[in-house]
Structure 1
Protein backbone atom coordinates (compact mmCIF):
# COMPACT_ATOMS: atom_id res chain seq x y z
CA UNK A 1 0.00 0.00 0.00
CA UNK A 2 2.80 2.40 0.86
CA UNK A 3 4.26 2.02 -2.63
CA UNK A 4 1.01 3.25 -4.17
CA UNK A 5 0.93 6.51 -2.22
CA UNK A 6 2.25 9.42 -4.38
CA UNK A 7 4.78 10.95 -1.97
CA UNK A 8 8.40 11.93 -2.47
CA UNK A 9 11.30 9.93 -1.01
CA UNK A 10 10.34 10.03 2.66
CA UNK A 11 11.73 13.56 2.98
CA UNK A 12 8.30 15.18 3.31
CA UNK A 13 9.17 17.92 0.80
CA UNK A 14 6.70 16.99 -1.92
CA UNK A 15 4.35 19.82 -1.03
CA UNK A 16 7.19 22.34 -1.21
CA UNK A 17 8.12 21.15 -4.68
CA UNK A 18 4.52 21.49 -5.85
CA UNK A 19 4.24 24.93 -4.26
CA UNK A 20 7.52 25.99 -5.86
CA UNK A 21 6.28 24.80 -9.25
CA UNK A 22 3.03 26.71 -8.86
CA UNK A 23 4.60 29.98 -7.68
CA UNK A 24 7.34 29.91 -10.28
CA UNK A 25 4.75 29.19 -12.95
CA UNK A 26 2.69 32.20 -11.88
CA UNK A 27 5.78 34.41 -11.95
CA UNK A 28 6.59 33.08 -15.40
CA UNK A 29 3.04 33.86 -16.54
CA UNK A 30 3.31 37.45 -15.33
CA UNK A 31 6.77 37.88 -16.85
CA UNK A 32 5.56 36.50 -20.17
CA UNK A 33 2.46 38.69 -20.26
CA UNK A 34 4.07 41.96 -19.26
CA UNK A 35 7.29 41.21 -21.11
CA UNK A 36 5.40 40.25 -24.24
CA UNK A 37 3.18 43.32 -24.03
CA UNK A 38 6.17 45.64 -23.65
CA UNK A 39 8.23 43.90 -26.34
CA UNK A 40 5.35 43.69 -28.80
CA UNK A 41 4.29 47.32 -28.40
CA UNK A 42 7.90 48.49 -28.64
CA UNK A 43 8.54 46.52 -31.83
CA UNK A 44 5.29 47.83 -33.26
CA UNK A 45 6.21 51.47 -32.53
CA UNK A 46 9.70 51.08 -34.02
CA UNK A 47 8.43 49.41 -37.18
CA UNK A 48 5.61 51.93 -37.59
CA UNK A 49 8.10 54.80 -37.24
CA UNK A 50 10.19 53.20 -39.99
CA UNK A 51 7.14 52.87 -42.21
CA UNK A 52 7.11 49.07 -42.06
CA UNK A 53 3.52 47.69 -42.26
CA UNK A 54 3.75 45.38 -39.23
CA UNK A 55 0.01 45.53 -38.57
CA UNK A 56 -1.62 47.64 -35.90
CA UNK A 57 -2.59 44.71 -33.66
CA UNK A 58 -0.32 41.90 -34.88
CA UNK A 59 2.04 42.41 -31.94
CA UNK A 60 -0.64 41.30 -29.47
CA UNK A 61 0.19 37.65 -30.16
CA UNK A 62 3.56 38.12 -28.43
CA UNK A 63 2.24 38.25 -24.84
CA UNK A 64 0.46 34.93 -25.44
CA UNK A 65 3.52 33.27 -26.98
CA UNK A 66 5.96 34.55 -24.36
CA UNK A 67 3.66 33.63 -21.49
CA UNK A 68 3.53 30.04 -22.75
CA UNK A 69 7.27 29.99 -23.43
CA UNK A 70 8.23 31.36 -20.00
CA UNK A 71 5.80 29.08 -18.24
CA UNK A 72 7.05 26.07 -20.20
CA UNK A 73 10.66 26.75 -19.25
CA UNK A 74 9.81 27.30 -15.59
CA UNK A 75 7.51 24.28 -15.40
CA UNK A 76 10.02 22.00 -17.11
CA UNK A 77 12.76 23.11 -14.74
CA UNK A 78 10.81 22.74 -11.51
CA UNK A 79 9.07 19.53 -12.55
CA UNK A 80 12.42 18.08 -13.52
CA UNK A 81 13.90 18.86 -10.10
CA UNK A 82 10.78 17.67 -8.29
CA UNK A 83 10.57 14.42 -10.22
CA UNK A 84 14.26 13.71 -9.62
CA UNK A 85 13.70 14.19 -5.89
CA UNK A 86 10.49 12.14 -5.79
CA UNK A 87 11.80 9.45 -8.09
CA UNK A 88 8.75 9.53 -10.38
CA UNK A 89 6.16 11.80 -12.01
CA UNK A 90 3.28 11.97 -9.55
CA UNK A 91 -0.31 13.12 -9.70
CA UNK A 92 0.58 16.36 -7.97
CA UNK A 93 2.92 17.26 -10.81
CA UNK A 94 0.14 16.72 -13.34
CA UNK A 95 -2.36 18.68 -11.27
CA UNK A 96 -0.09 21.71 -10.95
CA UNK A 97 0.82 21.50 -14.62
CA UNK A 98 -2.84 21.54 -15.72
CA UNK A 99 -3.74 24.37 -13.32
CA UNK A 100 -0.88 26.52 -14.60
CA UNK A 101 -1.70 25.75 -18.22
CA UNK A 102 -5.24 27.04 -17.75
CA UNK A 103 -3.92 29.95 -15.69
CA UNK A 104 -1.75 30.97 -18.63
CA UNK A 105 -4.60 30.83 -21.13
CA UNK A 106 -7.08 32.65 -18.88
CA UNK A 107 -4.51 35.30 -17.93
CA UNK A 108 -3.73 36.05 -21.57
CA UNK A 109 -7.41 36.36 -22.48
CA UNK A 110 -8.11 38.65 -19.52
CA UNK A 111 -5.10 40.82 -20.39
CA UNK A 112 -6.14 41.17 -24.03
CA UNK A 113 -9.77 41.83 -23.07
CA UNK A 114 -8.69 44.56 -20.66
CA UNK A 115 -6.44 46.09 -23.31
CA UNK A 116 -9.30 46.09 -25.83
CA UNK A 117 -11.71 47.85 -23.45
CA UNK A 118 -9.05 50.28 -22.22
CA UNK A 119 -8.12 51.41 -25.75
CA UNK A 120 -11.72 51.76 -26.97
CA UNK A 121 -14.61 51.73 -24.47
CA UNK A 122 -17.18 51.90 -27.28
CA UNK A 123 -18.92 54.93 -25.75
CA UNK A 124 -20.29 57.40 -28.29
CA UNK A 125 -22.68 59.37 -26.09
CA UNK A 126 -23.35 59.25 -22.35
CA UNK A 127 -27.08 58.74 -22.79
CA UNK A 128 -28.19 57.37 -26.16
CA UNK A 129 -31.91 57.82 -25.37
CA UNK A 130 -31.59 61.52 -24.61
CA UNK A 131 -29.39 62.03 -27.67
CA UNK A 132 -31.93 60.30 -29.91
CA UNK A 133 -34.74 62.69 -28.91
CA UNK A 134 -33.16 65.58 -30.79
CA UNK A 135 -31.43 63.61 -33.54
CA UNK A 136 -33.93 64.32 -36.33
CA UNK A 137 -34.02 68.04 -35.56
CA UNK A 138 -30.25 68.33 -35.54
CA UNK A 139 -29.98 66.30 -38.74
CA UNK A 140 -32.48 68.50 -40.58
CA UNK A 141 -30.76 71.70 -39.42
CA UNK A 142 -27.35 70.35 -40.43
CA UNK A 143 -28.54 69.27 -43.89
CA UNK A 144 -30.12 72.69 -44.42
CA UNK A 145 -26.65 74.22 -44.24
CA UNK A 146 -25.73 72.43 -47.46
CA UNK A 147 -22.09 72.07 -46.46
CA UNK A 148 -19.82 69.73 -48.41
CA UNK A 149 -16.98 68.46 -46.23
CA UNK A 150 -14.08 66.19 -47.24
CA UNK A 151 -10.62 65.32 -45.96
CA UNK A 152 -7.37 64.22 -47.58
CA UNK A 153 -3.78 63.59 -46.54
CA UNK A 154 -0.64 63.94 -48.62
CA UNK A 155 3.00 64.90 -48.06
CA UNK A 156 2.57 65.18 -44.29
CA UNK A 157 -0.36 67.58 -44.53
CA UNK A 158 -4.01 67.02 -43.66
CA UNK A 159 -6.55 69.07 -45.61
CA UNK A 160 -10.12 69.57 -44.53
CA UNK A 161 -12.29 71.17 -47.20
CA UNK A 162 -15.54 72.81 -46.07
CA UNK A 163 -17.60 74.47 -48.78
CA UNK A 164 -21.09 75.91 -48.73
CA UNK A 165 -23.89 75.35 -51.30
CA UNK A 166 -22.29 77.96 -53.57
CA UNK A 167 -18.98 76.06 -53.60
CA UNK A 168 -17.21 78.74 -51.60
CA UNK A 169 -15.31 78.00 -48.36
CA UNK A 170 -17.24 78.37 -45.13
CA UNK A 171 -15.74 79.64 -41.89
CA UNK A 172 -17.40 78.22 -38.78
CA UNK A 173 -17.42 80.39 -35.67
CA UNK A 174 -16.13 77.40 -33.71
CA UNK A 175 -14.63 74.10 -34.82
CA UNK A 176 -13.13 71.08 -33.12
CA UNK A 177 -11.65 68.05 -34.83
CA UNK A 178 -10.17 64.90 -33.33
CA UNK A 179 -8.10 62.51 -35.41
CA UNK A 180 -7.87 58.89 -34.32
CA UNK A 181 -8.33 55.23 -35.11
CA UNK A 182 -11.75 53.66 -35.41
CA UNK A 183 -11.14 51.00 -32.75
CA UNK A 184 -9.06 52.76 -30.10
CA UNK A 185 -8.56 56.12 -28.46
CA UNK A 186 -4.88 56.02 -27.47
CA UNK A 187 -3.82 57.64 -30.77
CA UNK A 188 -6.42 60.42 -30.63
CA UNK A 189 -5.04 63.82 -31.58
CA UNK A 190 -6.80 67.18 -31.35
CA UNK A 191 -6.15 69.00 -34.63
CA UNK A 192 -5.20 72.66 -34.84
CA UNK A 193 -6.09 74.06 -38.26
CA UNK A 194 -5.20 77.16 -40.24
CA UNK A 195 -7.05 78.18 -43.40
CA UNK A 196 -5.08 78.68 -46.63
CA UNK A 197 -7.95 80.23 -48.57
CA UNK A 198 -9.38 76.98 -49.87
CA UNK A 199 -9.15 74.47 -47.00
CA UNK A 200 -8.29 74.03 -43.36
CA UNK A 201 -4.77 72.54 -43.17
CA UNK A 202 -2.51 71.14 -40.48
CA UNK A 203 0.81 69.27 -40.59
CA UNK A 204 0.50 65.70 -39.32
CA UNK A 205 2.28 62.43 -40.10
CA UNK A 206 -0.05 59.45 -40.34
CA UNK A 207 0.76 55.74 -40.36
CA UNK A 208 -0.82 53.49 -42.95
CA UNK A 209 -4.39 52.39 -42.40
CA UNK A 210 -7.82 53.78 -41.65
CA UNK A 211 -8.23 56.98 -39.65
CA UNK A 212 -11.31 58.83 -38.49
CA UNK A 213 -11.81 62.57 -38.16
CA UNK A 214 -14.54 63.35 -35.64
CA UNK A 215 -15.40 66.99 -36.12
CA UNK A 216 -17.94 69.48 -34.83
CA UNK A 217 -18.42 73.02 -36.08
CA UNK A 218 -20.79 75.87 -35.37
CA UNK A 219 -22.24 77.83 -38.27
CA UNK A 220 -22.71 81.59 -38.19
CA UNK A 221 -26.42 81.14 -37.37
CA UNK A 222 -25.57 78.86 -34.41
CA UNK A 223 -26.37 75.57 -36.13
CA UNK A 224 -24.21 72.71 -34.89
CA UNK A 225 -22.56 70.63 -37.60
CA UNK A 226 -21.06 67.24 -36.71
CA UNK A 227 -19.45 64.74 -39.00
CA UNK A 228 -17.21 61.69 -38.94
CA UNK A 229 -14.87 61.48 -41.91
CA UNK A 230 -13.06 58.28 -42.83
CA UNK A 231 -9.53 58.79 -44.09
CA UNK A 232 -7.62 55.96 -45.82
CA UNK A 233 -3.85 56.38 -45.71
CA UNK A 234 -1.78 54.26 -48.11
CA UNK A 235 1.94 54.03 -48.66
Structure 2
Protein backbone atom coordinates (compact mmCIF):
# COMPACT_ATOMS: atom_id res chain seq x y z
CA UNK A 1 0.00 0.00 0.00
CA UNK A 2 1.11 3.39 -0.89
CA UNK A 3 -0.17 6.53 0.73
CA UNK A 4 -0.12 9.82 -1.03
CA UNK A 5 0.55 13.08 0.73
CA UNK A 6 -0.93 16.12 -0.93
CA UNK A 7 0.79 19.38 -0.14
CA UNK A 8 -0.12 22.90 -1.12
CA UNK A 9 3.36 23.67 -2.25
CA UNK A 10 6.62 24.52 -0.58
CA UNK A 11 6.93 27.04 2.29
CA UNK A 12 8.81 29.86 0.65
CA UNK A 13 10.48 33.05 1.76
CA UNK A 14 7.36 34.96 0.71
CA UNK A 15 5.28 32.92 3.17
CA UNK A 16 7.76 33.62 5.97
CA UNK A 17 7.68 37.34 5.17
CA UNK A 18 3.87 37.33 5.41
CA UNK A 19 4.02 35.54 8.80
CA UNK A 20 6.56 38.04 10.20
CA UNK A 21 4.67 41.10 8.89
CA UNK A 22 1.36 39.76 10.27
CA UNK A 23 2.93 39.08 13.69
CA UNK A 24 4.43 42.56 14.03
CA UNK A 25 1.25 44.18 12.69
CA UNK A 26 -0.74 42.53 15.50
CA UNK A 27 1.84 43.56 18.15
CA UNK A 28 1.96 47.16 16.94
CA UNK A 29 -1.83 47.32 16.61
CA UNK A 30 -2.34 46.12 20.18
CA UNK A 31 0.28 48.56 21.53
CA UNK A 32 -1.30 51.52 19.73
CA UNK A 33 -4.78 50.53 20.94
CA UNK A 34 -3.60 50.21 24.56
CA UNK A 35 -1.75 53.55 24.38
CA UNK A 36 -4.83 55.35 23.04
CA UNK A 37 -7.12 53.80 25.66
CA UNK A 38 -4.66 54.64 28.46
CA UNK A 39 -4.23 58.25 27.41
CA UNK A 40 -7.98 58.90 27.03
CA UNK A 41 -9.23 57.12 30.16
CA UNK A 42 -7.18 58.60 33.02
CA UNK A 43 -5.12 61.71 33.43
CA UNK A 44 -2.62 59.94 35.70
CA UNK A 45 -2.55 63.03 37.87
CA UNK A 46 -2.81 62.25 41.58
CA UNK A 47 -1.32 65.46 42.99
CA UNK A 48 -0.14 68.63 41.26
CA UNK A 49 3.28 68.68 42.92
CA UNK A 50 4.60 65.51 44.55
CA UNK A 51 7.33 67.35 46.48
CA UNK A 52 4.86 69.74 48.12
CA UNK A 53 2.48 66.85 48.86
CA UNK A 54 5.28 64.94 50.59
CA UNK A 55 6.13 67.97 52.74
CA UNK A 56 2.49 68.34 53.82
CA UNK A 57 1.95 64.66 54.57
CA UNK A 58 2.87 64.63 58.30
CA UNK A 59 0.64 67.62 59.05
CA UNK A 60 -2.29 66.09 57.22
CA UNK A 61 -1.75 62.72 58.93
CA UNK A 62 -1.79 64.40 62.37
CA UNK A 63 -4.99 66.27 61.50
CA UNK A 64 -6.64 63.03 60.34
CA UNK A 65 -5.65 61.26 63.57
CA UNK A 66 -7.16 64.13 65.58
CA UNK A 67 -10.41 63.91 63.59
CA UNK A 68 -10.54 60.14 64.07
CA UNK A 69 -10.07 60.49 67.83
CA UNK A 70 -12.90 63.04 68.05
CA UNK A 71 -15.43 60.22 67.57
CA UNK A 72 -17.39 62.08 64.91
CA UNK A 73 -18.54 59.86 62.06
CA UNK A 74 -20.91 60.08 59.14
CA UNK A 75 -23.30 57.87 57.24
CA UNK A 76 -23.93 58.26 53.53
CA UNK A 77 -27.23 57.14 52.02
CA UNK A 78 -28.12 57.22 48.32
CA UNK A 79 -31.74 56.79 47.26
CA UNK A 80 -32.67 57.28 43.62
CA UNK A 81 -32.12 61.03 43.14
CA UNK A 82 -31.56 61.93 46.81
CA UNK A 83 -28.23 61.91 48.63
CA UNK A 84 -28.36 62.01 52.43
CA UNK A 85 -25.52 62.41 54.89
CA UNK A 86 -25.92 62.09 58.66
CA UNK A 87 -23.06 63.17 60.90
CA UNK A 88 -23.03 62.24 64.58
CA UNK A 89 -20.87 62.20 67.69
CA UNK A 90 -19.51 59.10 69.37
CA UNK A 91 -22.62 58.84 71.57
CA UNK A 92 -24.94 58.95 68.53
CA UNK A 93 -26.14 62.51 69.02
CA UNK A 94 -26.12 64.77 65.95
CA UNK A 95 -22.83 66.60 65.46
CA UNK A 96 -22.98 70.39 65.18
CA UNK A 97 -21.81 71.14 61.65
CA UNK A 98 -22.51 74.13 59.39
CA UNK A 99 -21.91 72.64 55.95
CA UNK A 100 -21.07 69.36 54.22
CA UNK A 101 -19.51 69.01 50.78
CA UNK A 102 -19.33 65.72 48.90
CA UNK A 103 -16.94 65.19 46.00
CA UNK A 104 -17.68 62.20 43.80
CA UNK A 105 -14.76 60.87 41.77
CA UNK A 106 -14.48 57.84 39.54
CA UNK A 107 -11.55 55.58 40.47
CA UNK A 108 -10.31 55.89 36.89
CA UNK A 109 -10.95 58.96 34.77
CA UNK A 110 -12.15 62.39 35.76
CA UNK A 111 -14.81 63.19 33.16
CA UNK A 112 -17.74 62.33 35.45
CA UNK A 113 -16.34 63.86 38.68
CA UNK A 114 -18.51 66.40 40.48
CA UNK A 115 -18.90 68.13 43.86
CA UNK A 116 -22.10 68.81 45.80
CA UNK A 117 -22.78 71.20 48.65
CA UNK A 118 -25.47 69.52 50.75
CA UNK A 119 -28.34 71.43 52.33
CA UNK A 120 -28.80 71.24 56.09
CA UNK A 121 -32.30 69.93 56.86
CA UNK A 122 -31.81 69.46 60.60
CA UNK A 123 -28.91 69.27 63.04
CA UNK A 124 -26.55 66.57 61.78
CA UNK A 125 -28.67 65.78 58.71
CA UNK A 126 -27.82 67.03 55.21
CA UNK A 127 -29.17 66.18 51.79
CA UNK A 128 -29.17 67.10 48.11
CA UNK A 129 -31.05 66.04 45.02
CA UNK A 130 -28.73 64.67 42.38
CA UNK A 131 -28.76 61.58 40.17
CA UNK A 132 -25.71 59.35 40.65
CA UNK A 133 -24.69 57.19 37.71
CA UNK A 134 -24.12 53.52 38.46
CA UNK A 135 -20.76 51.99 39.24
CA UNK A 136 -17.79 52.61 41.51
CA UNK A 137 -17.13 56.03 43.08
CA UNK A 138 -14.72 57.49 45.59
CA UNK A 139 -16.70 59.89 47.77
CA UNK A 140 -14.76 62.51 49.70
CA UNK A 141 -16.75 64.16 52.49
CA UNK A 142 -15.73 67.42 54.14
CA UNK A 143 -17.78 68.73 57.08
CA UNK A 144 -17.08 72.18 58.52
CA UNK A 145 -18.11 74.24 61.50
CA UNK A 146 -17.25 77.96 61.55
CA UNK A 147 -14.96 77.39 58.56
CA UNK A 148 -12.89 74.73 60.37
CA UNK A 149 -12.90 71.16 59.05
CA UNK A 150 -14.55 68.91 61.64
CA UNK A 151 -14.65 65.73 59.58
CA UNK A 152 -12.83 64.74 56.40
CA UNK A 153 -13.21 61.24 55.08
CA UNK A 154 -13.06 59.37 51.82
CA UNK A 155 -14.70 56.08 51.04
CA UNK A 156 -15.08 53.92 47.99
CA UNK A 157 -18.62 52.93 47.18
CA UNK A 158 -20.48 50.94 44.56
CA UNK A 159 -23.95 52.29 43.82
CA UNK A 160 -25.22 48.71 43.71
CA UNK A 161 -24.74 48.64 47.51
CA UNK A 162 -27.41 51.31 47.76
CA UNK A 163 -29.84 49.62 45.38
CA UNK A 164 -29.17 52.10 42.57
Give the TM-score of the pair, scaled to structure 1. 0.51
Cα displacement string for residues 191-224 of structure 1 (whole angstroms, at most 9, x for unaligned residues)? 1311221521111222333322112233338345
The answer to whether the aligner puts 1:231 opposite 2:154 as a matched pair is: no
Q: Which residue of 2 aligns with 1:207?
A: 133
Gaps of 5+ in 2: 1-11
1:93 CA drift (Å) = 4.8
What is the RMSD of the two structures over their aligned residues, measured on CA atoms? 3.0
1:165 CA drift (Å) = 4.1
Higher relative contact order (CA 8 A, sep 6+): 2
1:153 CA drift (Å) = 0.6
Gaps of 5+ in 1: 1-87
Describe the shift of the 1:95–1:231 C-alpha distance in structure 2 as closer, same or farther (beyond 3 A): closer
Describe the shift of the 1:126–1:164 C-alpha distance in structure 2 as closer, same or farther (beyond 3 A): farther
| Structure holding more strand per residue | 2
Would you say the 8 A contact 1:151–1:229 is kept in 2? Answer: no
Pairs within 5 Å for 1:136-215? 136-165=61-90, 167-172=93-98, 175-197=100-122, 199-215=125-141
Give the TM-score of the pair, scaled to structure 2. 0.69
Match among 126, 130, 136 for residue 49 of structure 2? 126
Would you say the 8 A contact 2:42–2:108 is kept in 1? Answer: no
Say how many residue pairs are matched: 145
Secondary structure of the corresponding residue to residue 42 of structure 2? helix
Secondary structure of the corresponding residue to residue 193 of structure 1? strand
Would you say the 8 A contact 2:100–2:126 is kept in 1? Answer: no
